[in-house]
Chain A
Amino acid sequence: MNVCVLVMEGTNNEAETMHCLMKVGLRPVLVHVGELLSGEHRLKEFQGLVIPGGFSAGDYVRGGAIFASYLRAIITDLRWFIDAGHPVLGICNGFQILVELGFLPETEDDGVSSHKVALTRNGSARFECRTVRLRRENDNLFTRSLKPGELLELPVAHAEGRFVAPKEVWQEMVATDQVAFRYVGASDGPAGYPYNPNGSLDDIAGVTNRAGNLLGMMPHPERAFYWYQGASWTRRGSNRGPGQGHAIFQGMADYLKRG
């Protein structure tokens, strides 16, 4: 099961992402975006695709904008890959790229209104590196092993993660069950800062397409693959299972192995 780990200059979470994929029994292949554009590699060699975090091309313009502009040259291939049901995961910068390309959220007018959607500058106007609590919302192939409403603690680290969308797009996303994760606060109701670390609309932390094979999320599951990578593990005593991000990679592997 070959998984394309797609990078360019400035992508910098590829090593830990590949480690997680390998440990759940998949075969990650590091591919530079230039190799897809030149035809050195083709998407059809792969059963899955992951775009890891980082600062592609420095992200001096807008998170993921330059990476996405390269990928537009092969957008038909990408669309085919997604429509064929292959699992596609975008983490942090990868999520920004998927939004920038118009793949997330998936809307009736085929990406037109999603250009009004963005992951923009954090409410705090600063880079935020902290652990957040997430609630598993919709049912998608990555989170299938988690119970509905199950809570996860994962780190975020970004300056541009505030999900913004026009009301009609947001309503459509909710109606078609595309919210994968929400930030959770100390009590019910809106999470509020710092639980919602960036000011995202409706506490949205992760989004899928309708079919649930394309997931974009700001938090970093690859940084919490083992229990001893979590933020508060020294407080947990002997209650030690896999890390809180493990399930997402396992979900991808389970789906692919079932064929």
Chain B
Amino acid sequence: MNRKIDIEVSEEFLERISQELRLGLDREEMIRIRSYFRQRNRVPTELELQALGQAWSEHCSYKTSLPFLRRFITNIPTKTEVPIMEDAGVVGLDDDFVYVVALESHNHPSAVEPYGGAATGVGGVIRDVLCMGALPIALVDGLCFAPLSTSPEEIPPGTKPPRYLLEGVVQGISDYGNRMGIPTCAGLVSFHPGYLANCLVNVGCIGIARRDEVARSRVTKAGELLLLAGGKTGRDGIHGVTFASATLSDKSETEDRSAVQVGDPITQEPLVHACLEANRHGLIAGMKDLGGGGLSCAVTEMVAAAGLGASVALEQVHLREEMEPWEIWISESQERMLMAVAPENLKEIRTLFDHWRVELRHIGRVLEAPEVVIHQHGNELARMEPRFLLEGQRADRECSQGIVKGKTHPNSEGGTGRSDAPCKQRAHTVPETKDYNRILLDLLAGVNVASRAFVIRQYDHEVGAKTITKPLQGGLTTHSPADAVVIKPIADSFTGLAITCDVNPKFTEQDPFWGAASAVDEVYRNLAAAGALPHSLADSLCLGSPRSPVRMEELEEVCRGLNFVASRTGIPFVSGNVSLYNESQTGAIPPTPILLGVGIIKDIRRSITSDIKEEGNLLFLIGETKNELGGSEYLALIKEDGSPVPEVNPTQLWENCSAVVQGASEGVIRSAHDVSMGGIAVGLAESTFGGGIGCVVDLASLKGLHDEARLFSESNSRFIVEVAPQDEERFRAIFEQCQIQPIGITGGKRIQIADSISLIDLTVEGARRAWEEGLTKYFREEG
């Protein structure tokens, strides 16, 4: 039943129609639709309005963020070869291969239904990579929750406790990724009270493809057949994108659960094989996954990319249950791919899909005329112009100026921009001597620093046998945390890809610009610490509601901060996602640009890891330590405010990273670990865990700083590296342009850090236990 909806009504009533049909469109947008149909002298059908609601949602149209993306993100000058940016970014790897990067958020579904929301997020991002003709080879997850210690009284109605969310999300990712046989090998888990009612679940996927097998998400000419492959279409995931484009409320649990899709990895696994094989045989002209907006978005975008149209027969879609025509058209049921296929290839592709036991339906055909005509049993239900659907609405949002905290930021032209609200400087006052042993143990046990083994071990991070350095590095049962993992994507080549995922919401909350810049810095140094030179980035920009001018300013500042480092180092954003409306009755999340970084290592056999390898080696600190305790784990621990958050010098960052990569490739760096949360003290401790080899360090050579800054400042662009004495000369030559300081030697079973006088003296074993139990203590079985 496809109702006609009379929209020749008052503006107030237009808004009510939008609400009742759950279109998610505002008054202005409804008026635009009214005049469109008025000009054509006809009454729209429900299906047409629903299609517009999907296409014009924030999620599908990027109507708010597009101007920022164009200005700051998609225009980075670079030497990295990026031939295609569609559902995923395609990046040149070598003469024969490209790698493919996709990053998506699944925040709202996961807040309502953590297991299903996270699992289908994984399924979707795998298909984003698949539709470029690439074999998915690695998964990445970036997760943000409220602290696990949040007490039940603090949790607002309709919100699920963070422990429940974390367990559900991890289980969802684990069950989907493990069943697909794609390793989940990198990620981040971050805790901040701002995520209480709106957790973040971001999933990324890396794929690999031969250059001549890269597929496009578009049809090529009229007469091609449209084939729908994979799972059945059902009522799950209706209004998923409009749900993603509104704030969460205490009623989301009951009202929006139907917007969460249901995942089935065992339907998707053969679908991946079948699509790749058909593509390899040249049977596919173009393909696209069915994600947000379902068939509506997939068909429209595929034909619009070629300036063509399509005719679709809805009765050909294989259904799980009886559905209204508009539901079929916009359902976001998972594990489905749309393909354009030349008629002469139909028989062969059918045989191939039969072999893989994957359902394949011929649902339509590409037309010359640029319109999408939808039928059911011969009755025309809708006739839409792709251009009208996809032009969407550029939302003109109000953006505040100078409200967002932070200090003087360089603008994109290199000069300095505005300066605003001064923050309390935590300057050079020397605090009283503290029990730094206790503080270091507490930092290591803190949820943001503690071992992620509890999460990592639930993911199969080695399936595929391509994972060369692992997310936990060291011995059989003792580990240092990996900065990045290295995978070997091509069977007969030693070229490797390093992968990492980073952001620090404490920084971005205090200062969106430097926080975003710091996230890029951390990505680079993590990649370099694995021995790989940064090569490409993907960004998932998660923020609060764009209806707030302050949130808009945060968006702009985040984009400027990302641009500041990326443009000065020539690393492009090849794929991304914008998730706004991460806001609920408890307020907005901290602005959170979750970054996925990919680096290239020429020979995976030169990969390095973070665990100290041998006794008697030299430890060097690379990079400058400043009095930058703002947003640090240390200040959070002692419950004090302060500024500034760490700034970034892109030139120094790049020099330090290049030198570390050079040192690794020549074999003079035995281990490397970046300095991040918890500063040098935590970085050193983590390096000792993997091999159980301690260190004796003196930080007296860090001039002009008091002890707490020396130990715990989180200044950017720094590494701790281990060098064998016989390699010192060569090491110093490689790092001639960089600031390096010898800080100590490896050996013993203790972590000893002094500043002329002893500040920290702990056993490696004791520190490691504190670090290991920081997270697991929340997940012990009760009773």
Contacts and interface: CB of A to CB of B under 8 A. Distances in A.
A231 B460 CA distance: 14
A156 to B, nearest CB: 10
Interface residues of A, number: 39
A235 B615 CA distance: 12
A182 interface: no
Nearest to B459: A129
B23 to A, nearest CB: 36
A19 interface: yes
B672 to A, nearest CB: 11
Nearest to B671: A234
A16 interface: yes
A58 B178 CA distance: 10
Interface in B459-484: 459-465, 467-470, 473-477
25 contacts: A9-B266, A9-B269, A10-B179, A10-B265, A12-B179, A12-B181, A15-B464, A19-B491, A53-B463, A58-B265, A127-B457, A127-B459, A129-B462, A132-B476, A133-B476, A157-B460, A157-B462, A157-B463, A186-B477, A220-B462, A228-B468, A229-B465, A231-B476, A234-B607, A234-B671
A58 B266 contact: yes
B691 interface: yes
Question: Contact residue range for chain B?
Answer: 35 or more
B611 interface: yes
Contacts of A126: 457-458
A232 interface: yes
Given A12-B269, A228-B605, A232-B476, A127 B462 contact: no
B504 to A, nearest CB: 27
A87 interface: no
Nearest to A229: B465
Given A12-B269, A234-B608, A223 B465 contact: yes
A120 interface: no
B269 to A, nearest CB: 6
A171 B377 CA distance: 67
B691 A235 contact: yes
Q: Is the interface of B mostly helix, strand, loop or mixed?
A: loop
Nearest to A197: B457
Interface string A1-42: 000000001101101100100000000000000100000000
Interface string A213-257: 000000010111100110110110000000000000000000000
Nearest to B612: A235
A64 to B, nearest CB: 14
B497 to A, nearest CB: 14
Contact of B465 (A55, A59, A195, A222): A222
B175 to A, nearest CB: 8
Contacts of B691: 235
B613 interface: yes
Contacts of B608: 234
Contacts of B181: 12-13, 54
Contacts, number: 97
B527 to A, nearest CB: 16
Given A16-B465, A129-B461, A234-B469, A153 B491 contact: no
Contacts of B459: 127, 129
Contacts of B475: 232, 235
A17 B537 CA distance: 32
Contacts of A157: 178, 460, 462-463
A57 interface: yes
A235 B460 contact: no
B642 interface: no
Contacts of A235: 474-475, 611, 613, 690-691
B281 interface: no
Contacts of A54: 179, 181
A139 interface: no
Shortest Cβ-Cβ A-B pairs, 4 listed: A12-B181, A16-B465, A58-B266, A157-B460
Given A12-B463, A130-B457, A228-B468, A55 B266 contact: yes
A223 B488 CA distance: 12
Contacts of B607: 234
B769 to A, nearest CB: 14
Interface of A: 9-10, 12-13, 15-16, 19, 34, 53-55, 57-59, 126-133, 153, 155, 157, 186, 194-195, 220, 222-225, 228-229, 231-232, 234-235
B465 A225 contact: yes
Contacts of B474: 232, 235
B265 to A, nearest CB: 7
A13 B357 CA distance: 19
A151 to B, nearest CB: 11
A212 to B, nearest CB: 26
Contacts of B180: 12
B441 interface: no
B477 A194 contact: yes
Contacts of A153: 476
B174 interface: yes
Contact of B266 (A57, A186, A222): A57
B265 A231 contact: no
Given A12-B463, A13-B181, A222-B465, 8 more contacts: A10-B269, A19-B465, A59-B179, A126-B457, A129-B457, A157-B463, A195-B476, A234-B671
A254 B463 CA distance: 26
B604 interface: yes
A40 to B, nearest CB: 10
A155 B185 CA distance: 14
Nearest to A157: B460
Interface string B119-140: 0000000000000000000000
Given A19-B491, A127-B174, A231-B476, A223 B357 contact: no
Residue with the greatest number of chain A CB neighbours at <10 A, chosen from B456, B470, B491, B690:
B470
A19 B492 CA distance: 11
A54 to B, nearest CB: 6
B458 A129 contact: yes
A15 to B, nearest CB: 7
B470 A127 contact: no
Interface string B632-651: 00000000000000000000
A160 to B, nearest CB: 12
A62 to B, nearest CB: 15
Nearest to B531: A234
Contacts of A53: 463
Nearest to B691: A235
- With a 10 A CB-CB cut-off, give which of B457, B460, B608 has the most chain A CB atoms: B460
Nearest to A222: B465
B193 interface: no
A30 to B, nearest CB: 10
Most buried by B among A9, A19, A58: A9
A13 B183 CA distance: 11
B410 interface: no
B455 to A, nearest CB: 10
B460 A127 contact: yes
Nearest to A245: B465
B306 to A, nearest CB: 34
Contacts of A133: 476
Given A58-B265, A58-B266, A235-B611, A155 B457 contact: no
B477 A195 contact: yes
Given A228-B605, A232-B476, A235-B611, A55 B178 contact: yes
Contacts of B264: 58
A58 B179 contact: yes
Contact of A228 (B269, B604, B609, B611): B604
Contacts of A195: 476-477
Contacts of B464: 15-16
Contacts of A128: 457
Contacts of B609: 234
Contacts of B491: 19
B270 interface: yes
A55 to B, nearest CB: 4
B601 to A, nearest CB: 12
A153 B477 CA distance: 12
